[in-house]
Structure 1
Amino acid sequence: MTGLVIGSGVDVPGEPVTLDARRFNRHTFWCGQSGSGKTYALGVVLEQLLLHTELPMVILDPNADFVRLPEAREDASAAEAARLAELDIRVLRSSGDSPGDSSGSSGDGSGKSPAGRLRARYVDLTPASKAALLQLDPIADAEEYNVLLRAEVRAENFDSAGALAAFRQSSDPGEVRLSYRMENLQVLEWDLWSRGAGSVVDVIDQRPRATVMDLGGFTHPAESKVAALAVLEHLWTRREDRKPILIVIDEAHNICPPDPQTDVERALTRQLVQIAAEGRKFGLWLLLSTQRPNKIHPNVLSQCDNLGLMRVNSPRDLKELAGVFGFAGEDQIRRSASFAQGQALFAGGFLSEPTFVQMGRRITEESGGDVGVPLRGGR
C-alpha cells in the first residue's frame, strides 16, 4: 500500500486524503503553532507509516508525546490493534523501565541493561564530539585534545573512575589536565552513560519498526542533546549500509537551532546539516516538527521537499514559509492563519497537489496533552 489515509478534505468533506508513502524518501518539514494540533496530527502520520510500510523510524521525543505509541486506543479497530501488536516498537526513557517497550530486551543482546532505558556509550562518540562535550578546542587545548585522539578505550572495559585515576597518575601533562577537566565538568557522572552495558545505537541496529527516545527527564540539560548526537553520528557513520530509516525530530528547534550556543549544540547542528544535505541518497530521511520556521537552521530547512503546515498566525513566518516552499502557493500558505485545530496544508512530493486536510483520528494513545485549568467546586 503506497497511499496513507491521513484524514479528509477540508474543501471536499468526506473525501479521503492520502499521502504517497514512497515520497517520505525526502526530508519533511512539519510546522504549526502551539494549540494547532501539530503533535496529534504528526501521530496520525507516524501511525499510518507504521501500519502500512516497513520503514523503520527513530523518534527523538523531548516531551514524551510518543511514549505510548505501542498502545492501541480503545476505539481502534480490531485489525488496527492486532497489526500494532505485531510491530516491534521500543520506547527508551531517561529513567526507569518503559511500559511501552514491547521488546523486553536490553537492546544489545547482553541482558546487562534494564529494558526501556535510554543510554549511550561515551566511548562510541567520535573524538570531535567528545571534545565538544568537554569544551575542548583543538588549538587552545592542543595537549588535552591530542589525548582524546590517541586514547583507545574499548566499550566493554571502560570505567570512568578508573580512567580518571589513570589520567591523574600519568606522567603526561595533557592527560593530567584532561582528568581535571573531566572531573570538574562531571560529564562522566551523567545518567546517560551505559557504563559498559547496552546503548541506544545497539537497539537501532536491530532495526525495530520504531525506536522512541524519550529525551526528557535527564538531570543535565546537555544529556538529551548528546543522546541525539550519539544516534545521528552513528547513523551517519553507517550511511554506506544504505538501510533506510526515518529520523523524526519533534520540537526540532532544540536539536538544530539557527544559532547554536554551546559546543554540543554546534556539533549536533553540523551533523544534521550534513544529513539534510547528503543523507537522502543513503536512506537517512528527516521529518522535522517545530512551531516556527525561523527556529530551524536554514541549511536544514532549505533541504525539505515535503511540507505539513498547521495553523500559523505570524505574518513573518508565513512569508518565510512561502519563500522556502515555493511548491505551495503563497495564498495557500497564508490560509493556514485561519485553520481550525486539526486542519493542515500538505504540499510537496507526497501528494499530487497542495491539499487542505482535516486530520483523521489517532489509533494509539497520545501522551503529553495539555494540562487543564483547575475549576472550583469540581466543575
Structure 2
Amino acid sequence: MAANLDADPSSAPPTAPSPGLTHLESPDGRSFVARGPVQEQPVPGDYLEIEGEDGVLAFVEDVAGDGGTGDGAGFSASGTLVPVGGAGRSSRPADAPWHDAVVRPTRPDAVQRLLSGSDPELYLGQLAGQDDVGVALVPNRLNRHTFWCGQSGSGKTYALGVLLERILLTTRLPMLVLDPNSDFVRLHEQAGEAEPGQARALREREVVVLRPNDPASPLRVRFTDMNARAKAAVLRLDPVVDRAEYNALLRLFDSDFNAVEAEKIVPYLRSLGDPDAEALAQRLENLGVVEWRTTWAFGGASATDVIARRPAATVLDLGGYDRHEEQLTVALAVLDDLWERRAERRPLLIVVDEAHNLCPPDPETPLGVAVRDRLIQIAAEGRKYGLWLLLSTQRPSKVHAGIVSQCDNLTLMRMNSRDDLAQLASVFGFVPQGLLAQAARFRQGEALLAGGFVPMPSVVRVRSRITPQGGTDVPVPMP
C-alpha cells in the first residue's frame, strides 16, 4: 500500500524509543511525561529542550525513579510544556500532541528568553544551577497578596530586602513596611558596594523611616483619630461585659473631649462627677495608657499623615517600642486609617514582617484581635482598593489561615517543618509538589518563587542587596 504523504506526523503511532536518550510524550500539547536513562535524570525546576523545536520548553515539575521499567535504570519526569515566545516562537498548534520527541537539557539562552525579561534591574536573582539566567520580577503582578516565608537562618529577611529594593528601583508602587525587628530601618541608605547608577536611582526615591525615639521623624499616632472599636481595644473594653464604661467612652468622644490635652485626660474624667467616667479614668491609670509617651502624637503629626502623602516607602520601626501593646496600637491605627481611606483607591503595598506577631490564628488580647481582623479584611477585600499585602514569617502555621489563603504569590526559602510544608502545599496548589519538596535542602539565600510576580515557578539564588540590612545575627565571640 502506498504511503499517505498528507498524514499529520504528530498523529503517527509512536515508534520504539532510541536507547540512551530521553523521550517525551504529550497527549494534549500542555502536560508531558518524559522517560530516559538515569544518567540524564533532571530535577524539579529543570527545563528540557525538544529536538527541532525552539519555541517550546518542557518544565519539569516531578521526577520518579526507574521510568516504569522496574529495573532502577531510568527515570520518569512529568510537567508542563511552556511556550518561550520571541524569536523562537513555535509554529505548532498549542494543543498538538507530541509522540516520542527527543529531549535534552536546555541551553541557557532558551531559558533566559522565558525567565529574564528585558531589564536586569528586575532580576531577583539567578536561576539555581544556571548562573547566566536571571529570574525577573513581573512588577504589574504585585497587585496580588504575597506570602514570604523561610525558617530562621534561611536568608528570608535579606531576600525580602532585595525585593523591596527592586520595587523601589523599577516601579512607582508606594510601600508601607511594618518592621518589628528594625530590619529595614536602613532602606534609605546605600551599601558601599552599590553600583553608582543604582545608588543614584535609590537616592531619588523618598524613603521615610519613623522611629519611636527619633525627635526628627517620630513614630506616633493620635488616640483621638482612632475609631470607637480601636479605642475600646486599646483600653480592653468589651461592649457587653464593660457596657457602662464602653458607653461612657462613646459619649465622651462625641463631645468636646477630643480637645482635652493628653496629660489632663484623667483629671478631666474625674471632674465630670460621673461614676462611669471615674471608672474609665481608673482604667486609664491602671493600664498606664496615657504614659505611652512614644506612642501618642499628643496633637502632633501622626504616622497616618506621612503615609497619606505616599512616599516611595514608609518604614515604621515597631521594634523601638518596649511593649507589644504599643506595636499593636500603632499597627491598628495605621491599618484602620488605610481602610477608612480605601475609596481613594491609591495603590499601596503593605509589608508585614514577622506577620505571626500581628495576625496569629488566636490573638490573646482585644488589640491583637482587632489588628488580626483588620488584616483579614484587607486580605479578603483590599485588592480591589489597591491595598496589597506582603506577609513575611518564619512559621506559616502561626499566621491566620484565612489570610494565607488569599495570597497568590509565594516565596519559600529553607523550611524543615513538615507541617508547615504540608500547609503550604494545601494552600498554594499551583506550586509543583516536586519544587516544594526541595525546600528542606535549600542553601542560605536560595528561594522558590511562584505565582504571577515571576514568569515561571523558579528556584533562585537571591542577588546581593544594595542597602544595608538593619538587623544581623550576633556573632559568637572568638579568642
Q: Distance in 1 between matches of 2:208 and 2:471?
A: 18
1:170/1:41 CA distance change after superposition, 3 Å = same
Q: Which residue of 2 aligns with 1:146?
A: 247
Give the structure 2 partner of residue 37 of structure 1. 155
How far the C-alpha of 1:327 sits from its partner, in A, is 0.7
**CA-to-partner distance for each residue in 1:36-82, whole Å, 9 max, x for gaps?**
00000000010000011111001011111111101111111111111
Give me the whole-angstrom Cα distance separating, in 1, the residues matched to 2:260 and 2:206: 31
Q: Is residue 80 of structure 1 aligned with residue 198 of structure 2?
A: yes
Amino acid aligned to 2:241? A
**In the aligned structure 2, how far is the partner of 1:2 from the partner of 1:205?**
33
Higher strand share: 2
Deviation at 1:155, TM superposition (A): 9.7
Structure 1 residue 12 displacement after superposition = 2.3
SS in 2 for 1:216: helix
Do the aligned residues in 2 keep the contact of 1:56 with 1:246 (CA within 8 Å)? yes
Aligned to 1:52: 170
Report what 1:70 is aligned to: 188
TM-score (norm 2): 0.73
Q: Which has the larger radius of gyration?
A: 2
Given that 1:158 and 1:196 are in contact with CA atoms closer than 8 Å, whether structure 2 keeps it comes out as no
Deviations 1:334-353 (A, max 9, x none): 10110000000000111232
State the identity as a percent: 52
Partners of 2:169 and 2:180 lie apart in 1 by 24
* 1:186 matches 2:288: yes
Give the match for residue 340 of structure 2: 237
Gaps of 5+ in 2: 1-116
Classify 1:204/1:7 alpha carbon distance in 2 versus 1 (closer, same or farther; 3 Å): same
Per-residue CA deviation, residues 240-298 of structure 1 (Å, 9 max, x unaligned), is 00000000011010000011111100000000000000000000000000011101001
Deviation at 1:149, TM superposition (A): 1.6
The answer to whether structure 1 residue 219 and structure 2 residue 313 are counterparts is no
**Structure 1 residues 155 and 360: CA distance shift in structure 2, 3 A:** farther
Residues paired across the two proteins, number: 359
Matches within 5 A, 1:10-25: 10-25=128-143
Q: Is the 8 A contact 1:347 1:354 kept in 2?
A: yes
The Cα of 1:173 is off from its aligned counterpart by: 2.0
In the TM superposition, 1:304-315 aligns within 5 A as 304-315=407-418
Partner secondary structure for residue 30 of structure 1 = strand
Q: Residues 23 and 153 from structure 1, CA distance in 2 versus in 1: closer, same or farther, beyond 3 angstroms? A: farther
Letter in 2 for 1:261: E
Cα shift readout 1:133-189 (whole Å, capped 9, x = no counterpart): 111111121121112222136798341232211211213222121111111111111
Task: State the AA in 2 paired with 1:27.
Answer: H
Which residue does 2:216 correspond to in 1?
Answer: 115
CA distance in 2, matches of 1:157, 1:177: 21
TM-score normalised by the chain length of structure 1 = 0.92
* Structure 1 residues 258 and 57, CA gap change in structure 2 (3 angstroms): same
Change (3 A) 1:374 1:165: same
Higher RCO (C-alpha 8 Å, min separation 6): 1
Alpha-carbon distance between aligned partners in 2 of 1:50 and 1:228, rounded to the nearest angstrom: 23
1:198 is matched with which residue?
Answer: 301
The alpha carbon displacement at 1:2 in A equals 9.0
- For 1:293 and 1:168, how far apart are their aligned partners in 2? 47
> What corresponds to 1:261 in structure 2?
364
Rounded to whole Å, the distance in 2 between the matches of 1:212 and 1:138 is 34
Q: 1:105 matched to which residue of 2?
A: none
**2:175 and 2:118 mapped to 1: Cα distance?**
17
In structure 1, what is the Cα distance between the partners aligned to 2:311 and 2:118? 21
Match of 1:185, as an amino acid? L
Q: Is the 8 A contact 1:65 1:368 kept in 2?
A: yes
Q: Mark the CA change 1:174 to 1:206 in structure 2 (over 3 Å): closer, same or farther.
A: same
Instruction: Give distance in 1, aligned partners of 2:421 and 2:297.
Output: 44
1:208–1:155 Cα change, 3 Å: farther
1:93 aligns with 2:211: yes
Structure 1 position 61 matched with structure 2 position 179: yes
Aligned to 1:110: none
Instruction: Name which of 176, 179, 190 aligns with 2:278.
Output: 176
When the two chains are superposed, the root-mean-square deviation of aligned CA atoms in Å is 1.5
Summarize the Cα distance change of 1:14–1:312 in structure 2 as closer, same or farther, 3 Å threshold: same
The aligned counterpart of 2:226 is: 125
Residue pair 1:158, 1:195 contacting (<8 A) in 2 also: no
Partner amino acid, structure 1, of 2:269? F
Contact 1:123 1:155 in 2 (8 A): no
Structure 1, gaps ≥5 residues long:
98-113
Q: Tell me which residue corresponds to 1:108.
A: none
Residue pairs, 1:243-282, within 5 angstroms: 243-282=346-385
Match of 1:111 in 2: none
Partner of 2:36: none
